[in-house]
Amino acid sequence: MASILRFRKLCYVEPCSSLKFQSFETPKIENRDEGGVGSKTENLLEKKQRKNKNKKQHREWRCIDSCCWVIGYMCTTCWVLMFLYHSLPATLTGFPVPESPGTRLKAEGLTPLHPVVLVPGIVTGGLELWEGRPCAEGLFRKRLWGGGFTEIFKRPLCWLEHLSLNNETGLDPPGIRVRAVPGLVAADYFAPGYFVWAVLIENLAKIGYEGKNMHMAAYDWRLSFQNTEIRDQALTRLKSKIELMYVTNGHKKVVVVPHSMGVIYFLHFMKWVESPPPMGGGGGPSWCAKHIKAIMNIGPAFLGVPKAVSNIFSAEGKDVAYIRAMDPGVLDSEILRLQTLEHVMRASRTWDSIVSLLPKGGDAIWGNLDWSPEDGHSCDLAKKGYLQTSGDTNFNNRDENRVFQVKEPVKYGRIISFGKETSQISSPQLPRHDFKDLPHKDSATNFTSSCGEVWTEYDELSRESIRKITENKAYTAQTLFDLLRFVAPKMMQRAEAHFSHGIADNLDDPKYAHYKYWSNPLETKLPVAPDMEIYSLYGVGIPTERSYVYKMSPSDKCKSIPFRIDGSADGEAGSCLKNGVYFVDGDDSVPVLSAGLMCAKGWRGRTRFNPSGIATYIREYQHKPPASLLEGRGIESGAHVDIMGNVALIEDVLRVSAGATGAQIGGDRIYSDIMRMSERINLQL
């Protein structure tokens, strides 16, 4: 409880207005006459009586009491559940535990063949402190991220300060060094009991894998990809590790298993390792063909995710919108004043990696004001059809009878719309965007002088500019970059030196030799490695964020975020709009469009993005929630992180690691509309 009270005290911007602290004054001593002894005795008796009376009176209920009771109930519930979890036997009568894929495949005779390299994604890798400020005393080499997260409650502002990077360089702030935790423990569990890679690692171990042929390529996920090499030599160490595993395992090629943002991180690595120094690793044009057997991308964010837009714009997502819809005042209470989202924005806008996840390809991929590849998408995901193609990667066997029903027109191309009506009206009714006419600062209305310290870049915007941004305007994947450059100029200027989000006209143009293009599959070529295979493994059947309805924040206070998702914006029953968020099919984080398009079209066959015709496979996993609490997070989940425990996915990874090809494990397996969407996209191949 002491930690909770410290957390409250540190997070408050100003003390709770309803709490009044009594002032303790020194009692005045009055001159008494000679008979003052009796008067003193009477005064003491009166004080004692008043004291006893005050004790009997019921103490006034305050806001802090309610907070402590709520937190107490939550903690007690967690403790009880943890006690039951550790007390119950591993198996209960009548509830048989299904055999793990590793155990079953070992019985079939599967043994390790190819070394395996695991590449974690954003936020799932642990970070530890190597040097810090005085407030971080006693935390040397202790985890600040990925672990118990106890420091959030003990010293939250200190914790955020140490997780933030330098806003100018995107590297370490002076006097602070936070580094990635090395080894398999870096990302096996995100928090106690919450697995990420642990289940897959365990199943690999059951068929014989161990430290000599399995490696976790941990890196600092906050940095831009090239900065992981500049500061930590992470790419060089990964190159050396793959070469060592190749030599010490009988010259067997490596199977690489990246997850989420780790997918585009490894895409950057493949271009880096074959590029000449000093910008590249100097491995030569045949390095990937020599060392890599297959890349099994799990939950790949190849073309970005719309939720990265809302993160940068307002530090929000569907979860925050849902909380506001349920209780609009919980995050904006005048009593609490935690300003959690402002603190999150202040730290996350120093992380260049978030910009790598912004939508790539512009309007040609994500749609414009009137069109999107998901046009006709049904939000009733239970009615989706099933498609399985043969192992020869032929994807022309489509279900022509599939029916798409839409209750109301959805214009998914408008990733940000201010107002529900704006997200639906025809494009001629929308005003044009012209950020050149908007003043970035206005001395008459600039709040930085009255607010003191600038918390976010919104404090540097004039109120007039903020108001004009919202006037019945919608922003697509193309125009939202102008919007983000206006509201977050420092972050975008710094990060766009490391990332690009367009489509290349001519991939032979020398400018694409720069590292800023290497993580964008639409602006770089795959290596010349005709024997290599690329898999896209992802879940489907879960509503996933695609676009947002925004509004102005009701508060005009200093140090506040002026925009928020409109949680009151809902569609009709069965609509794709809920709590201000439009949903499409995906894995809860990455839409199908981003996860599957490159393997469905961009890299399918011999194209300008895939000059050697590397074989590509799509393996989708239909989401099935756990049947009971005993299944934990589910063994058939398609959710972005929970899919790492999906038995079908684990079996696919184990079989390929043991030597199987994509054709041998069944080729493409498709449940979603990715093939239909890919046909609607005009992408020069």
H/E/C letters for each residue in 463-507?
Answer: HHHHHHHCCCCEECCCCHHHHHHHHCHHHHHHHCCCCCCCCCCCC
Considering the candidates 585, 587, 588, 652, report the single residue annotated as catalytic: 587
Q: How far apart are CA 90 and CA 594, in angstroms?
A: 39
Round to whole Å and give the CA distance between 550 and 448.
Answer: 25
pLDDT band at 198 (very low <50, low <70, confident <90, very high): very high
Active site residue 260: yes
Q: Which is higher by pLDDT, 194 or 331?
A: 194
- The 10s digit of each residue's pLDDT in 471-501 is 878 999 999 999 999 999 999 999 999 999 9
Helix (H) or strand (E) holding 298: strand 292-298
Alpha-carbon distance 682 to 685, whole Å? 9
| pLDDT (0 to 100) of residue 81 | 66
Report pLDDT digits (tens) over 542-587. 999 999 999 998 766 666 788 999 988 998 877 899 999 999 999 9
**φ and ψ of 505, to 5 deg:** -80, -45
Q: Could you tell me if residue 495 is left (phi over 0), alpha (psi between -120 and 50 degrees) or otherwise beta?
A: alpha
pLDDT tens digit sequence for 595-652 = 999 999 999 999 999 999 999 999 999 999 987 776 778 899 999 999 999 999 999 9
Give the Cα separation of 14 and 488 in Å (integer): 26
* Nearest-10 Cα torsion for 670, 673, 679, 682: -120
Helices 234-248 and 261-274: crossing angle in degrees, nearest 10, is 80
Confidence (pLDDT) at 331: 59
Detail the DSSP E strand segments found in 106-195.
116-119, 127-131, 143-145, 177-180, 189-191, 194-195
Of 365, 318, 351, 334, the closest CA to residue 565 belongs to 318
CA dist., res. 132 & res. 654, Å (int):
41
Helix 2-11 vs helix 156-163: angle between axes, to the nearest 10 degrees? 60
Residue 543: CB atoms within 10 Å:
17
Q: What is the pLDDT of residues 260-281, one digit of tens each?
A: 999 999 999 999 999 999 999 9
Active-site annotation holder among 164, 220, 259, 260: 260
- pTM for the whole structure: 0.84
The H or E element that residue 6 is part of is helix 2-11
Contact in structure between 475 and 433 (CB atoms under 8 Å): yes
CB atoms within 10 A of CB 89: 6
Dump pLDDT digits (tens) for 406-428: 455 689 999 999 999 999 888 88
Q: Which of 512, 493, 510, 588 is nearest to 543 (CA)?
A: 588
The answer to whether residue 640 is catalytic is: yes
pLDDT higher than threshold 60 for residue 174: yes
Residues with Cβ within 8 Å of 6's Cβ and at least 6 positions away in sequence, in order, are 153, 154, 155
Neighbours of 79 (CB within 10 A): 10
Question: Which residue is catalytic, options 259, 268, 498, 640?
Answer: 640
Catalytic residue list contains 509: no
pLDDT score recorded for residue 30: 44
pLDDT-wise least confident of 230-239, 282-291, 376-385, 577-586 = 376-385
